[in-house]
Amino acid sequence: MDDADQTVAHSFATRAIHAGQEPEPTTGAVVTPISLSTTFAQDGVGGHKGFEYSRSGNPTRAALETQVASLEQATHGLAFASGLAAEDNILRLLRPGQRTLLGNDAYGGTFRLIAKVWSPLGFPWSAVDLTDIDALARDWPDDVGMVWLETPTNPLLTCFDIEAIAAIAHEHDAIVVVDNTFATPYLQQPLTLGADIVVHSATKYLGGHSDVVGGFVAVNDNDLAERLLFTQNAAGAIPSPFDCYLVLRGVKTLAVRMDRHCENARAVVDILAGHRAVERVLYPQLPDHPGHAAAAKQMSDFGGMVSFTLTAGREAAMTVADSTEIFTLAESLGAVESLIEHPGAMTHASAAGSPLEVPDNLVRLSVGIEDATDLVNDLAQALDRI
């Protein structure tokens, strides 16, 4: 897509509901149809109406691509079959020998893709502490092609200063990729802060209902867009029209959901911070949190993810994760229902033994949009078992 500009004058919540979603011209249907056709009739050879074959472009996908690109303040949006498919498409921009600098806390699957899939093919990587901007500038390796960061990170919720990192990376002609899955475009728009590429697991807050796996990439640079679009079509990791419809529908309510996620997260942080069993609460709003200043500068609120460590160690973390009733013990995040997990044994097991290994007394919460008092009471009864 490239027509996000037409709705950029409207505010976020309006664009979420209208960008790319004009009523269907033949019937007036207000809801974007799920276009299942894999092929599109041509008037004469080459005389198509914008769509030829559904891997290359599909009307439902185009609506989603316009919608989310508009929210990220991007000129181009590309939807993928999963967050990792989107990431893989981006990594194909690198030439063999070009290094990826990965922030030293990130989703385990991103680490696995960079370190275990791409690195053996001749694409080096290293983990770096991106909170230390001076060290980043001083110790910059010559071969860097890409800097890859999540902010806030999964699962420690560390925040990195996108503007400062992009300034250094651009001095060295490196591409800056920001995984905006945790913040969502409602709370943070990395392209406006100097990032070159935004990537999402649309499976999370964009979809918002734990019923679709998807990925998304947003860019403003035409050359990058062309190269990414080429690979999207050539490698073909595209989402189905139904999956596009589900994400499109989820994004319509992103603004109201995120407000409630943030509000509920604050209630949860309060009870955790006051409980004797809790060693440390990790939430970007807390003044002593790593990257709090960066979060306060570049996010409009602090999000719905909360992590914490237990003084009594791994077994205590396991007990809490196993003892909640409303928080469901499950992987994933970012949906209406609250989830709890033990990252070391679940989402981040693939990072064991690496610089991205997570503490074994860590518990991660995806705070949903249920009633805040019910969530607080549920956590309190689980923590009281320690």
Catalytic residues: 55, 107, 179, 204
**Which residue in the shown chain puts its C-beta closest to ligand PLP?**
83
User: What secondary structure does DSSP assign to 63-117, as a single string?
Assistant: HHHHHHHHHTT-SEEEEESSHHHHHHHHHTTSPTT-EEEEESS--HHHHHIIIII
Among 100, 104, 110, 264, binds ligand PLP (CB under 6 A): 110
User: With binding defined as CB under 6 A, does residue 341 bind ligand PLP?
Assistant: no
User: With binding defined as CB under 6 A, does residue 100 bind ligand PLP?
Assistant: no
User: With binding defined as CB under 6 A, does residue 201 bind ligand PLP?
Assistant: yes
Under 8 Å between Cβ of 264 and 304 = yes
Among 20, 59, 77, 109, binds ligand PLP (CB under 6 A): 109
Please identify which residue in the block is written with the tokens 């796996």.
213
- The residue among 60 and 203 lying less far from ligand PLP, judged by its C-beta, is 203
User: Which region among 81-89, 93-101, 251-259, 290-298 touches ligand PLP (by CB under 6 A)?
Assistant: 81-89
259 — phi, psi (to 5°)?
-60, -45
Among candidate residues 49, 57, 103, 96, the one with its CA nearest the CA of residue 79: 57
Closest distance to ligand PLP from the beta carbon of 84 (Å):
4
Closest distance to ligand PLP from the beta carbon of 141 (Å):
24
348 — phi, psi (to 5°)?
-115, 20
Order of strands, sheet of 328-329, starting from the edge strand that comes earlier in the sequence: 278-282, 305-310, 362-366, 339-341, 328-329
Closest distance to ligand PLP from the beta carbon of 154 (Å):
4
Strands 144-150 and 99-103: parallel
Under 8 Å between Cβ of 89 and 80 = yes
The CA distance from 347 to 320, in Å, is 17
User: With binding defined as CB under 6 A, does residue 205 bind ligand PLP?
Assistant: no
User: Which region among 46-54, 102-110, 125-133, 288-296 touches ligand PLP (by CB under 6 A)?
Assistant: 102-110
Among 4, 84, 127, 382, binds ligand PLP (CB under 6 A): 84
The CA distance from 25 to 29, in Å, is 8
- The residue among 21 and 154 lying less far from ligand PLP, judged by its C-beta, is 154
Write out the binding residues for ligand PLP, residues 168-197 only, by CB under 6 A: 179, 181
The CA distance from 381 to 377, in Å, is 6
Among 60, 73, 82, 232, binds ligand PLP (CB under 6 A): 82
User: With binding defined as CB under 6 A, does residue 215 bind ligand PLP?
Assistant: yes
Under 8 Å between Cβ of 186 and 254 = yes
Q: Which two tokens stand for residue 311?
A: 């003084």
- The residue among 4 and 305 lying less far from ligand PLP, judged by its C-beta, is 305
- The residue among 319 and 332 lying less far from ligand PLP, judged by its C-beta, is 332
**Burial (CB count <10 Å: 0-12, 13-18, 19+), residue 337:** middle
Among 154, 232, 285, 298, binds ligand PLP (CB under 6 A): 154
Among 150, 243, 301, 341, binds ligand PLP (CB under 6 A): 150
User: With binding defined as CB under 6 A, does residue 83 bind ligand PLP?
Assistant: yes
102 — phi, psi (to 5°)?
-110, 130
Closest distance to ligand PLP from the beta carbon of 135 (Å):
24
Tell me how many residues contact ligand PLP (CB under 6 A): 14
Closest distance to ligand PLP from the beta carbon of 362 (Å):
15
CB neighbours of residue 386 within 10 Å? 17
- The residue among 217 and 271 lying less far from ligand PLP, judged by its C-beta, is 217
Closest distance to ligand PLP from the beta carbon of 77 (Å):
16
Q: Cα dist. 260→159, 301, 307 in Å?
A: 21, 11, 18
CB neighbours of residue 162 within 10 Å? 25
Closest distance to ligand PLP from the beta carbon of 116 (Å):
15
User: With binding defined as CB under 6 A, does residue 161 bind ligand PLP?
Assistant: no
| Number of helical H runs and strand E runs in the chain | 13, 12
Write out the binding residues for ligand PLP, residues 277-306 only, by CB under 6 A: none
- Enumerate binding residues for ligand PLP (CB under 6 A): 82-84, 107, 109-110, 150, 154, 179, 181, 201, 203, 213, 215
